[in-house]
Amino acid sequence: MNDSPTITCCPLCGGEKREGKTTITVEPAYGQFVIRDVPAKVCELCGADWIDDAVADKIERLVEDARIKQSQMEVINLKAS
Ligand SMILES: [Zn+2]
């Protein structure tokens, strides 16, 4: 756990982080999954993104589901799931 208060500056470039959406690509050994519409904090300047642990857990579960289905490539919309 990170106990620091909400950081509003990007540690990479000092730009401002804003609530936004990002696309995460997960590439396990067995395939490639693209997760779209992921809520994240996105740096206005360099575009770096940060996702919450809860969101990361959700993505992990989606990838696990895809693995069980033996799907090798999938584009998943996080909002719709
Ligand atoms: Zn930045």
| Segments making up each domain of the chain, as ranges | 22-38+52-80
- Is the predicted pLDDT of residue 1 greater than 70, yes or no? no
H/E run at residue 63? helix 53-68
Nearby residues for ligand 1 (ion, Cβ within 5 Å) = 10, 12-13, 15, 43, 45-46, 48
- Calculate how far, in angstroms, residue 51's C-alpha sits from the geometric centre of ligand 1: 14
Q: Which residue has the tokens 């696309």?
A: 23
For residue 72 the two structure tokens come to: 């090798």
Q: Which residue has the tokens 């997960």?
A: 26
What pLDDT was estimated at residue 5?
Answer: 54
Q: What percent of the chain has pLDDT over 70?
A: 89
- Cα(74)–Cα(63) distance, rounded to whole angstroms? 9
What pLDDT was estimated at residue 68?
Answer: 92
